[in-house]
Amino acid sequence: MPDPTKTPAPDSSANPSLEEMRLAAERYRLLFDDNPVPMWVYDTTTLGILAVNDAAIGTYGYSRQEFLTMSISDVRPEQDREPLAERVRHLPRGYNKTGKWRHRKRDGTVFPVEITSHSIVFDGREARLVLMTDITERQHAEEALRKSEKLAAIGQLISGVAHELNNPLSSILILVETLLQDPRPLEDTEALTTIRDQARRSRTIVRDLLSSARGGPMRRQLTNVTDLLNRTARGLAPQVDDLGATLDISIDGALPEVEMDPTAIAQVITNLVVNGAQAAKAGGRVRLRAAAKADRLELVVEDNGPGISTADFSRLFEPFFTTKPPGAGTGLGLAVSRGIVEVHNGTLRAENVAGAGARFTVSLPLPPAEPQAAAATPTRADTARDGAPRVLIIDDEPSIRMALRRFFVKREWLVDEAGDGAAALRALLAPDAPDYTLVVSDLKMPGISGITLHDRLLAERPAIVSRMIFSTGDIVSADAREFIDRVQAPVLQKPFELATLDATISRYARRP
């Protein structure tokens, strides 16, 4: 029996057998020729390619014969060849990761690769074995993550700026509209109208920027489309009137309820109707039509303006492209509208109407299942003990509190104010707290926010929660979206107009 502790005697044969040579060749073929990663061997002195595997031939498009007449410089773009020679000259022996490079295929395509190499002796020459990894997809993913991180940062910035801009815009709009309701000299009315129009324009710019930066899914809910269209049309009527046009609304039969983000779809309708009124000009007409057709809901906005020129059709939905004169539009409305519609798995198309005018058609999918019942309208609360309705206004912006006070006092409401959530909480939880008909609160405030206020009242005085209306200039941030998604209370987006506020409070108390 052989002793395992002793080294066996060497083979007496000085030359390898044919079987050993065959096994060695097979190992080489498996490790190099059949390797799925592109590989080659090059001479470190001449940089000429000495061997190449099938994966490299398939990736780069050169034949084996062509490869063996080339140097590693030939697979680089010309501007990368000088840095390559310098890098190879100082490359230490052994294993090296030489990082990212650009390679060129036979057809001229340039693509990114990551290179690893190892020094070897090949046919008696100092050489390097090189492995190339195509990182095109990884680089695209990295770039997309960077296009995403930047957009998220921009969205956060826009959200903060919008919040700061929407507070003064809210107070301006409410005050101006309140002042315009009283008889005034013509020049004062014209000045106030100009202020209102510019505030509306600023509001549109802020909302379009917010929509373009908005991230995450839409806030879907089962929506009564007929009610949504009627409310939106009522809110748009004053603006269309100011442009000298008329707005007609036509709803073909009973429309089914649809899962949608009502605020976003209302913005689409607003953009299309206002664009139509601007195109129709004084004396023109805008028609808003809605109908359910098979498995689609169609919302159509037509105007009798000059129509869309052939040259403009290709750029119509391009961000920042506008046919309006300088200062009259941002070029974001149609781009944002199409984005909203497409998120709802719908389409938005434009065409010219025979004769004159333009037509925009929003097509949204209808639910295949039987629609659910509509949500019940909140019960109106009792008025204050003295017979007049009473409201508590909560906002850290004094100008907004003043504007809202004027709005409610003009309507003979009793008005109390709180400058922050803490003061409001003390007032609402006091044993002798008034029986408020309505509580109007800002969502974002220092200290106790409107969100915290809502949750505390829900736990300690739930009856008042059903009489709360919130307002915010920031509907993009995560905490605002989460709150809007989970509560039943209306959330008005600043800056809102008196018609919107009137329509909302009418759900809570009868107008005096």
Q: In CATH, what number is assigned to the domain containing residue 401?
A: 3.40.50.2300
Give me the domain span that covers residue 290. Answer: 217-369
| Pair (363, 401) in one structural domain | no
pLDDT at 384: 45
Contacts of 260 (CB under 8 A, 6+ apart): 218, 220, 221, 223, 344, 364
- The single-letter code of the amino acid at 196 is R
Is 135 or 474 the better-scoring residue by pLDDT? 135
Last residue of a domain, one of 111, 134, 157: 134
* Band of pLDDT at residue 417, cut at 50, 70 and 90: very high
Q: Reply yes or no on whether the pLDDT at 369 is more than 70.
A: no
pTM reported for the whole predicted model:
0.42
Q: What is the pLDDT of residues 248-257, one digit of tens each?
A: 999 988 888 8
Map residue 221 onto helix, strand or coil: strand
Instruction: Report how far residue 413's alpha carbon sits from residue 12's, in angstroms, rounded to the nearest whole number.
Output: 114
Q: Reply yes or no on whether the pLDDT at 415 is more than 90.
A: yes
| Pair (287, 249) in one structural domain | yes
Q: Reply yes or no on whether the pLDDT at 483 is more than 70.
A: yes
| Pair (348, 239) in one structural domain | yes
Is 192 or 143 the better-scoring residue by pLDDT? 192
Q: What is the pLDDT of residues 436-482, one digit of tens each?
A: 999 999 988 888 889 999 999 999 999 899 889 998 877 667 777 78
Q: What is the CATH number of the domain that holds 73?
A: 3.30.450.20
pLDDT at 236: 84
Contacts of 404 (CB under 8 A, 6+ apart): 174, 393, 395, 415, 440
Token readout for 132 is 């190339």
What is the mean predicted confidence (pLDDT) over 3-25?
53
Instruction: Report how far residue 187's alpha carbon sits from residue 194's, in angstroms, rounded to the nearest whole number.
Output: 11
| Pair (333, 433) in one structural domain | no
* Band of pLDDT at residue 155, cut at 50, 70 and 90: low
Q: Reply yes or no on whether the pLDDT at 11 is more than 70.
A: no
Question: How far from chain centre, in Å, is Cα 254?
Answer: 32
* Domain contains 313: yes
* Band of pLDDT at residue 165, cut at 50, 70 and 90: confident
* Band of pLDDT at residue 245, cut at 50, 70 and 90: very high
Last residue of a domain, one of 134, 168, 202: 134
* Domain contains 303: yes
| Pair (264, 365) in one structural domain | yes
Q: Reply yes or no on whether the pLDDT at 376 is more than 50.
A: no
- Cβ(432)–Cβ(418) under 8 Å? no
Q: What is the CATH number of the domain that holds 268?
A: 3.30.565.10
Q: What percent of the chain has pLDDT over 90?
A: 22
Q: What is the pLDDT of residues 391-414, one digit of tens each?
A: 999 998 888 888 888 889 988 899
* Domain contains 331: yes
| Pair (402, 320) in one structural domain | no
| Pair (471, 397) in one structural domain | yes
| Pair (357, 223) in one structural domain | yes
pLDDT at 325: 62
pLDDT at 375: 34
Token readout for 270 is 């607003």
